[in-house]
Structure 1
Amino acid sequence: MEEQQPAKPVFQPNGDVHVPAFVLPVSDLLSEPAAEAQRRRATVPAFDAAGGDVDTATRREQINAFMAPQIARLRDMFAVNIEKAELGGVEVLDVTPADGSHDPDRVLINLHGGAFTVGWDGVALVESIPMAVLADYRIVSVNYRMAPEHRHPAGVEDVASVYAALLEDYAPGRIGIYGGSAGGALTAQAAAWLPAHGLPQAGAVGIFGAGGVPFHAGESAWTAGYIDGSFPPPPADGSELEDITKGYFDGIDEKNDPSAWPGYHLDTLATFPPTLIITGTRALDLSPAIFTNSQLLKAGVRSTLIVGESMGHCYHYQVTMPEGRDAVDQIIAFFRENLA
């Protein structure tokens, strides 16, 4: 019997591609722990990252409950002091190594993920605890204002307030800013906002699981929706995309407001400090990350892009997985090099 050949993609006159159904094998470039994690997805219930119709207050509780076991593991692995404080009138978590050994001259501002609606303080702690110990830095995680209660630029205004307060104790070139997912996008906004509002630029920024353009920009929202499944793909019928930010960017002209999406504006990007961008081949944010890196290079900024093979959204959160730990090690090396 003649072997059946796989179906081929069909290209439409308008450039669309009809992609046939296919089986995507586990990558043979993965570490065994990462490959095993992919095999387990067949039996582990999917976590609905978009949130569905659950009200925001409940959703915030759900996210923190989901993160709680990971935070417990991280606290067993990394001894830290966590203090609630206020800087510039904004609530923060001040995370430092428990032995008091952190660098006294440098600090990192963390901006947590959570679609501009959730993530405080569960996601903030997942992003801050390992970094404090592994980097030997003080981490200041910001409880920035989110939707549905607030709209852009509330979040970046809060970041600027914390940053201005830290300038009383740190040189700007020794302050780094980083975040994942919404926090990655907010990091890009902060890099655009600070010099545009009379503040000195930070020493370096890390944009992880995001870019300087919206998450739905480009084709990765489609591919990740069908391959990774953490976020749904755009509607196939062309109907309006679900707004997972719950209106945070209502009224914003996506391509013409550099305070929201600086990736479209080379003159704004030219003011950025050295930038590290991390994404994955299965990540929703792959296209925004690639585009933002290319735009930064075009604008003359030193930008580095890391793309994790077969990795999904914000894989650097998984520090117990070799690929995640490799990403964290590169983040630390980047800040050590650039916060001179």
Structure 2
Amino acid sequence: MEADPAAKPIFEANDDVRVPGFVLPVSKLVSEEAAAAQRGRSSAQPFDTAESADAVTRRKQINAMVAPAVAKLREQFAVKITGTTIGGIDVLEITPRDASHDRDRVLINLHGGAFTLGWEGIALIEAIPVAALGCYRVITVNYRMAPEHRHPAAVEDVATVYAALLQDYAPPRIGIYGGSAGGALTAQVAAWLSARGLPQAGAIGIFGAGGVPFEAGESGYIAGYLDGFFPPPPADGTDPIDITKGYFSGTDNNDASAWPAFHPEILAKFPPALIITGTRAVDLSPAIYTNSQLIKAGVRSTLIVGEGMGHCYYYNLALPEARDAYAAIVAFFRENLK
């Protein structure tokens, strides 16, 4: 479809903007690898988002989809992966195979997957590069998810693991990070710790998310038509499909334990934060808003916005932009975990 050069947005009386159809070219500011990836994309959904798909099916689908990427990471990075429990919670411990990791610091990873899936596939995609590139011990947590569980189950599990790690690590030397649902969960954990009298972590990484719901800003609409990973909200104003399968059912959108970026007094107790998003990402608005609110609350926050990048673009290490993101992640935790 060719864009109509005469087409203009129409500003409705209710403040809605009626956007005409247009063609979005690949940005000239992205790497050639990213441009090639954009040109080769399919509009097919990567996994079944239908309401009828049960949790077990969806978890198998996503793990099968990412299995080749996990295998490639295990070939690329020499890491040791050990399954264990901490505080009674199942975790995977990822360390450099040569045991060269920092013995005084640890990172907790919270995997993505819409609070319904992502264990173990996405967890390994998020944990392996950071453990290898940063020479860290990374503990990735198998937190409780929907539809079997509801908020704050995941936060409680992460807090349990965190409290157990306090026996071996000083709080300023514990970092927490995650992507997508895991990024939102990271913000929730930072709020939870201070609210329950636990010492705050040394630094957090909120990637592919923010401290507010994904649909709270404009990017949920824009990314639905640009990135294609998540569908845009229905045009008729009805509620969108709940990809969390009810994880936040019964939770008020103003609940500080779920969406802390709406609460300056909570954010003021956050540690330094690194936030990563992309111009085509559904999480762009939540990330921008959370970064701004953290700065207003007096917290050091750094925002990285990948040009032409979609949701959790850093998962794809074939992109120079992803490698830059991992370099920033490693540098951030090295600087802030005292």
Fold conserved between structures, TM > 0.5: yes
Q: Secondary structure at the match of 2:83?
A: strand
Equivalent residue, structure 1, for 2:306: 308
Q: Does 1:125 align with 2:120?
A: no
State the TM-score, normalizing by the size of structure 2: 0.97
Q: Which amino acid in the other structure matches residue 243 of structure 1? A: D
Describe how 1:316-335 pairs up with structure 2 within 5 A.
316-335=314-333
Q: Does 1:32 align with 2:32?
A: yes
8 Å CA contact retained: 1:49, 1:231 = no
Q: 1:247: how far off?
A: 0.6
Equivalent residue, structure 2, for 1:16: 16
8 Å CA contact retained: 1:48, 1:230 = no
8 Å CA contact retained: 2:101, 2:137 = yes
Equivalent residue, structure 1, for 2:258: 260
Q: 1:175: how far off?
A: 0.2
Q: Which amino acid in the other structure matches residue 144 of structure 2? A: R
Structure 1: 5+ residue stretches without partners: none
Q: Which amino acid in the other structure matches residue 275 of structure 1? A: A
Deviations 1:118-164 (A, max 9, x none): 00000000000111110000000000000000000000000000001
8 Å CA contact retained: 2:281, 2:311 = yes
- Mapped partners of 1:336, 1:319: distance in 2: 21
Q: Secondary structure at the match of 2:334?
A: helix
Out of 269, 272, 275, the residue aligned to residue 271 of structure 1 is: 269
Q: Secondary structure at the match of 1:133?
A: helix
8 Å CA contact retained: 1:293, 1:303 = yes
Following TM superposition, the consecutive aligned residue runs of length 4 or more in structure 1 with deviations greater than 2 angstroms are 48-53
Equivalent residue, structure 2, for 1:112: 111
Deviations 1:314-340 (A, max 9, x none): 011112210001011101100000001
Deviations 1:91-139 (A, max 9, x none): 0000000011000000000000000000000000000011111000000
- Counting aligned pairs with the same residue, the percent is 68
Q: Which amino acid in the other structure matches residue 8 of structure 1? A: K
8 Å CA contact retained: 2:47, 2:58 = no
Q: 1:198: how far off?
A: 1.4
- Mapped partners of 1:251, 1:127: distance in 2: 30
Q: Secondary structure at the match of 1:101?
A: coil
- Mapped partners of 2:206, 2:219: distance in 1: 17
Q: 1:54: how far off?
A: 1.3
Q: Secondary structure at the match of 2:81?
A: strand
Residues 227 and 91 of structure 1, relative CA distance in 2, 3 Å threshold:
same
Q: 1:45: how far off?
A: 4.1
- Mapped partners of 1:18, 1:39: distance in 2: 27
Q: Which amino acid in the other structure matches residue 136 of structure 1? A: C
Q: Does 1:7 align with 2:1?
A: no
Q: Secondary structure at the match of 1:216?
A: helix
Residues 48 and 10 of structure 1, relative CA distance in 2, 3 Å threshold:
farther
Equivalent residue, structure 1, for 2:41: 41
Equivalent residue, structure 1, for 2:59: 60
8 Å CA contact retained: 2:48, 2:58 = no
Q: Which amino acid in the other structure matches residue 286 of structure 2? A: P
Q: 1:192: how far off?
A: 0.2
State the TM-score, normalizing by the size of structure 1: 0.97
- Mapped partners of 2:37, 2:142: distance in 1: 31
Equivalent residue, structure 1, for 2:196: 197
Equivalent residue, structure 2, for 1:173: 172
- Mapped partners of 1:27, 1:176: distance in 2: 34
8 Å CA contact retained: 2:212, 2:286 = yes
